[in-house]
Amino acid sequence: MFTSTLLAAATAPLQWSPAVGVIIILANIFAIAFGKSTIKYPSTQPGLPSANLFGGFGLPALLATTAFGHILGVGVVLGLHNLGRI
């Protein structure tokens, strides 16, 4: 019974497009900027090979901000798809 309710709530599948990629990239840029201003110790160890290239982030901060950016981007993409915008 739960499966039929779940299938009834499903929407049309979302196909990847360049717009989806741009949204994910912008969400990651926003998340990195947000992380740069809010992470207390952004350069903790282990460090990255070219820290200047990554904004002075260590590996934990870089992984955290990009993971947050992907979660944020997927939410935006799914929300826009649900509204019929993409």
The pLDDT profile of the chain, 86 residues, written as one tens digit per residue, is 566 666 666 667 888 889 999 999 999 999 988 988 887 877 668 776 776 666 778 888 888 889 999 999 999 999 998 888 88
In the numeric block, the tokens 């944020």 are attached to: 72
- pTM here is 0.75
CB burial class (10 A; 0-12, 13-18, 19+) of residue 1? exposed
Cα gap 47→58, rounded to integer Å = 4
In a domain? residue 6: no
Cα gap 36→21, rounded to integer Å = 22
In a domain? residue 2: no
Burial 38-48 (b: 16+ CB within 10 A, else e): ebeebbeeeeb
Contact residues for 65 (Cβ-Cβ < 8 A; gap 6+): 28, 31, 32, 34, 35, 36, 39, 57
In a domain? residue 35: yes
Number of compact structural domains in the chain: 1
Range of the domain at 74: 15-83
In a domain? residue 66: yes
Cα gap 56→48, rounded to integer Å = 9
